[in-house]
A and B are shown apart, each in its own frame.
Chain A
Amino acid sequence: MSNVFVVGEIKDGELKKISRELTSAARKIADTLGGQVEVLLIGAGAEKFAGDLGAVGADKVLTADAGDFNAEAYANIISENVKAKKPSVVLMPHTGYGKDYSPRVAVKIGAGIVADVVGLSVDGGKVIGKKPIYSGKAYANIKVTTDIQAFTVRPNSQELGSKAGAGAVEAAAAGAGDVKVKVTGTELSGGSKIQLTEASIIVSGGRGMKGPENFPMLQSLADLLGAALGASRAAVDSGWISHSHQVGQTGKTVSPNCYIACGISGSIQHMAGMGSSKYIVAVNKDPEAPIFKVATYGVVADLFEVVPALTAEFKKVLG
């Protein structure tokens, strides 16, 4: 039997979409290899999401609570459960949390790991992970040669499945163990609750935005669409918007369904962060801007006219 073990994610009491994406991908692998899909969810009230995960293919949902997020505690709990369940494949999210605990899990369970994959396939009983490399200039296909094959998977890269599993709930081992790093305080900067790296729509502004006073215009479009707000480094370095919004090589890597770039030229470093977006919309005055080479829909026009018109039009159709 080749079971697939998924680590899901709950944040602020909500099931993150990546959990369903990973479960869907796991279902396909398990069906090919002949096995079950077990999803571990760590967090208070995890049981209530079993139905959601069962609907996309989870046979079993293992639940554990460990208080506030701590990478070492999560790594301990995850590896303890992997060791107990002996799956042949482990899928973890390539999110902020996942990047924090997955390296420790790989070491603890003695598994080779391929990180930040956007594609998963099976060949000769082994999973092959496909990952973008060199700023998206190439893709590498990599398999893992240890008994357990571990992968971290980029959010928004997997289709949601429609094949249901049993979705049975089971309490999991939850030994957090000793942790060396303790959080003594957090400071939230407020702003939008939609995280860039997981957003399915992103509205992003660059140097063409001209100043900080114009970002609220983009924010209202983003709010209307349930989108996250992004920015180029030029906008961040000019101090118009905080670095947490930066998309690109020295910012965040995003893979939304739709990326709307306003006044962004499309430098290679920016594209390194958003080049894998499914649909790209570019609003730019300059018809020669490199962003048009990757844009699904190009609008050669002044963003100060197009963005408000777009907001008005969406208001009309979205009611």
Chain B
Amino acid sequence: MKVVVLVKQVPDTETNIKLGDKSINEAGIKWIISPYDEFAIEEGIKLREKNGGEVIAVSVGPDRVQDVLRTSYAMGVDKAVHIKVDDYNTFDSLFTSQLIANFAKAEAADIILAGRQAIDTDSSQVPVQIAEELGAGHVVLAIKIEINGTSAKITREVEGGTATVETSLPVVVTATKGLNEPRYPSLKGIMSAKKKPIDVKQAADLGAPASRIEVVGLEPPPPRIAGRKLEAADAAGFASQLVKALREEAKVI
């Protein structure tokens, strides 16, 4: 079975973000694997342990994304592919999805795994777009995946509960919390990951499409309305003040 896992490199949530004109200022940024993608990597390895085959991690972006591919090696993937795009626009989901779809098609992947969203853009677009481009089925928010030959049985989160779905392979699946517990890379894994080759592909060779969006600019978040601490002698006092503020000032309740 051939598993392709999407790995996106994103700024750590705790990192201070400085805005450039149309993208962030990368100096001083600490980069990590987008946390949901770790569930996808772990699941890829688990599926291989159970069904045999190969797990390929793929990341689109400039050279720095090789760091997350090294981490993927350290967690246990078999192969890492870097689709090189120097001026990568992290918001252009169709660009990313077409590159990866073209790659996955060439690899004849049976299952493509990704995190349910990347925590830099929160767009939730790329994996399902890949499914559409491949003419494959997709299942989002998976919490359990079973492969039986050429079909898959997947349990996913739905609003208010879970649903079980069945589909044939190939399929694109997005991972959410609850699917597994991602393993920590072992020291041995980290050491050997350093020596493993990363297959670099040029975006142009994968038929990179023209961009379909244009970033007009970035801006800081709107300032929050100045908050105020309520003063009261006791709980009842706080309660009456708060109810008054919410009903008469904010008019939200």
Contacts and interface: CB of A to CB of B under 8 A. Distances in A.
Interface of A: 71-72, 75, 96, 99-104, 106-108, 111-116, 123, 128, 131-146, 179-191, 193, 195, 197, 200-201, 225, 243-244, 246, 249-251, 253, 257-258, 268-269, 272, 275, 278-281, 287, 292-302, 305-306, 308-310, 312-314, 317-318
B227 A296 contact: yes
A75 B135 CA distance: 13
A104 B132 contact: yes
B124 interface: yes
Given A115-B123, A294-B227, 11 more contacts: A107-B129, A116-B121, A133-B122, A142-B216, A144-B213, A197-B159, A293-B227, A296-B225, A299-B230, A305-B234, A309-B236
A177 to B, nearest CB: 12
A191 B161 CA distance: 10
Interface stretch (B12-20, B80-88, B102-110, B200-208): B12-20
A286 B227 CA distance: 16
Given A141-B215, A309-B239, A100 B140 contact: yes
Interface of B: 11, 13-14, 17, 19, 24, 35-36, 91-94, 97, 119-129, 131-133, 136-140, 153, 157-168, 171, 177-178, 211-222, 224-225, 227-230, 232, 234-236, 238-240, 242-243, 245-247, 250, 252-253
A233 to B, nearest CB: 9
Given A258-B253, A297-B245, A310-B243, A140 B91 contact: yes
A245 B43 CA distance: 24
Nearest to A268: B13
A141 to B, nearest CB: 4
A186 B158 contact: yes
Contacts, number: 260
A114 B216 contact: no
21 contacts: A96-B158, A103-B93, A103-B124, A107-B133, A133-B120, A133-B121, A138-B218, A139-B218, A145-B212, A181-B137, A181-B138, A184-B164, A184-B166, A193-B160, A244-B160, A251-B177, A278-B250, A279-B246, A281-B242, A287-B229, A305-B235
Contact of A142 (B11, B167, B214): B214
Contacts of A107: 94, 97, 129, 132-133
B132 A75 contact: yes
A149 B93 CA distance: 14
